[in-house]
A and B are shown apart, each in its own frame.
Chain A
Amino acid sequence: MSKAIRLKVENQDPVEAINSFLKKLLEVNAVDILIAPMDAYDGKSVFPTMFSDPNEINGKVNPLAPVLSVSYATTVSKMTRLRPFSKKVAVVMKPCDIRTLIELVKLKQASLENLIIIGTDCLGTVSIKDFKKATYANSRELTLEMISASFNGGFDENRLRSACRVCEFPVPNKYADIEIQLYGVNPKEEVYIVAKTEKGEKLLDASGFEIVEPPSNRKEAVERLVEERIKKRDEFFERTKKEIHGVEGLKKMFSTCINCHNCMTACPICACKECFFNSSTFEYGSLKYEMWAENRGVFMLPNDKIMFHLGRLSHIATSCTGCGLCEQACPVDIPLLKLFKTVGYEVQKLFNYEPGRDLEEPLPLTTFKEAELENFVGSGEE
């Protein structure tokens, strides 16, 4: 039915095999520019990198890098917000990045025109801070360790970012043109590149690799994994609701916040050029502060912390894809993902909406039905 390429893996290193495929795409001009993860100079982080010269790729790309330093959706948004790509550009993205990019397209912050999305199965990611501290020479070492562990066990899940531990989207959605598949095969021996759209099929045809059938037992493997993750996610929701409960919960949650707005900067959905919370609305002048101090008897600064987080939550909850970059960006390690994923899920359920699921589904707060949500009007007791 659909087309696939089987890459034979040597030395148990699928990264090398995928490199050869990506290099080929540039060599045969199937794509003009490739955006893919590459290690930083010191190998202590991984960043989206643009390649036009195939010879630059030679083993340097790590599409499976278990590190998400910045959002690839934001990266694409930055490049295409004003004008879509005119050249054929392919970007390697993790499943959460793809869903986020779809939200950004709906928010009119990015364009999919001339863009080819190469989705990868995601192993989960470790935080940039942990990766920097660890002793790996480069991201590939960690990748291989994780791939090995996912088959033999032995990789401590707690090393992953909290977002990845409870992520129910380990594989790309329908917006990936081609998928780099790890689940359902043994990536120490083989990796499949599978076309999911017409654009993807053309790309595989052009690459000159032998076209084969996609692997057959992927579906079960993915279903099993998703089921496991959903279970973990639901347990996580239960725990979170107990932990962040009422005013006491909020106090505890944000007591260490320094109001730096790093979470907002890192959040791919927070795409406003001028954030409401940085506006003069929140410049009060001395009278207001005097009033706070006198009314409450005690008033700790900086203020507007809970307000900023709850406000930001109300602005993005419908589109939050749970990537957890807010949490990764926090200098005082506030577990923001707990708040955003749990509340996001409830709000999205209310509107029967799933961020990144479908370009045709309107953003919940831009639309309405005439007859709906009646139980939220009035005392709700009629």
Chain B
Amino acid sequence: MTDKDNENDGKSNFEPSIIGFFCNWCTSSAADLAGTARLQYPPNVKPIRVMCTGFIDPVYIIRALLEGADGVIIGGCHPGDCHYINGNFKARRRVAMIKTILKTLGLDDRRVRIEWISASEGKRFADVMTEFTEYIRKLGPNPMKQLKTI
């Protein structure tokens, strides 16, 4: 709905910069598994390990976007599997809130995504990261990069 002007056809040499917040117990382990299994996924995703997705303050997401990240992906345990019982449920509420805020302000909420990837899903981790990177590549650069102040 928003970044129409910035959408490109993927032919340009735009390399998306994506911040990943991955929970220590599931998605970070899945990333390790993808690595040991020699699965390829794009280097555009810069992973930040957090103990739990429930630890992620919405401000982290806003800050990543304002600082110029083209996308933010949050990876946590599947519902019911949270190491801290319910951190991922709380994260889901916060992500829903931040997406609603972005949408209301006419910003692109598609740049923020939350996914459940368990420790055994190395293949799925690589697939999701590839898919999200290509998705963001199509959306084009984050228009917030043009801000002269943040």
Are A and B bound to each other? yes
Contact of B135 among A306, A318, A346, A379 (CB under 8 A): A379
A296 vs B92: C-alpha distance in the bound complex, in angstroms?
Answer: 33
A346 in contact with B104 (CB, 8 Å): yes
A304 vs B149: C-alpha distance in the bound complex, in angstroms?
Answer: 7
A244 vs B66: C-alpha distance in the bound complex, in angstroms?
Answer: 16
Of listed B62, B145, B149, residue having the most chain A CB within 10 A? B149
Residues of chain A lying within 8 A (CB to CB) of residue B116: 377
How close is A260's CB to chain B, nearest CB, in angstroms?
Answer: 15
A378 in contact with B97 (CB, 8 Å): no
B101 in contact with A317 (CB, 8 Å): yes
State whether the Cβ of A153 lies closer than 8 Å to any Cβ in chain B: no
Residues of chain B lying within 8 A (CB to CB) of residue A359: none
A296 in contact with B98 (CB, 8 Å): no
State whether the Cβ of A314 lies closer than 8 Å to any Cβ in chain B: yes
A241 vs B147: C-alpha distance in the bound complex, in angstroms?
Answer: 20
- Interface size of A by CB at 8 A reads 46
Residues of chain B lying within 8 A (CB to CB) of residue A272: none
B149 in contact with A299 (CB, 8 Å): yes
A306 vs B105: C-alpha distance in the bound complex, in angstroms?
Answer: 13
Which of A2-10, A83-91, A246-254, A325-333 is found at the contact surface with chain B?
A: A246-254
Nearest residue (CB) in B for A371 is B79
Residues of chain A lying within 8 A (CB to CB) of residue B80: 370
A350 in contact with B104 (CB, 8 Å): no
B149 in contact with A346 (CB, 8 Å): no
How close is B137's CB to chain A, nearest CB, in angstroms?
Answer: 14
Residues of chain A lying within 8 A (CB to CB) of residue B63: 307, 311
User: How many residues of B sit at the interface, in one of the four size bands?
Assistant: 35 or more
A246 in contact with B114 (CB, 8 Å): no
Within 8 A of B (CB), among A303-317: 303-307, 310-311, 313-315, 317
State whether the Cβ of A73 lies closer than 8 Å to any Cβ in chain B: no
B106 in contact with A245 (CB, 8 Å): yes
Residues of chain A lying within 8 A (CB to CB) of residue B101: 310, 313-314, 317, 343, 346-347
How close is B101's CB to chain A, nearest CB, in angstroms?
Answer: 5
State whether the Cβ of B95 lies closer than 8 Å to any Cβ in chain A: yes
Residues of chain B lying within 8 A (CB to CB) of residue A372: 92
Residues of chain B lying within 8 A (CB to CB) of residue A247: 107, 143-144, 146-147
State whether the Cβ of B100 lies closer than 8 Å to any Cβ in chain A: yes
Residues of chain A lying within 8 A (CB to CB) of residue B143: 246-247
State whether the Cβ of B59 lies closer than 8 Å to any Cβ in chain A: yes
How close is A368's CB to chain B, nearest CB, in angstroms?
Answer: 4
A251 in contact with B97 (CB, 8 Å): no
Chain B 84-106, CB-CB to A under 8 Å as 1, else 0, gives: 00100110111111111101111
Residues of chain A lying within 8 A (CB to CB) of residue B93: 351, 364-365, 368, 373
State whether the Cβ of B121 lies closer than 8 Å to any Cβ in chain A: no
Q: A311-B62, A342-B104, A376-B114 are in contact. List 5 more A-B contacts (CB 8 A).
A: A246-B105, A249-B105, A311-B59, A369-B89, A377-B116
Task: Give me the 6 closest cross-chain CB pairs, A-B, nearest first.
Answer: A245-B106, A368-B89, A314-B58, A300-B149, A376-B96, A311-B59
What are 21 residue pairs bridging A and B, where the CB atoms are less than 8 Å apart in the complex? A241-B104, A241-B106, A306-B147, A306-B149, A307-B150, A310-B66, A310-B101, A311-B58, A313-B101, A315-B59, A347-B104, A350-B96, A350-B97, A364-B97, A365-B93, A365-B97, A368-B86, A368-B89, A370-B79, A376-B96, A379-B131
Q: What is the interface of chain A, defined by CB distance below 8 A to chain B?
A: 241, 244-247, 249-251, 276, 295-296, 298-307, 310-311, 313-315, 317-318, 339, 342-343, 346-347, 350-351, 364-365, 368-370, 372-373, 376-379
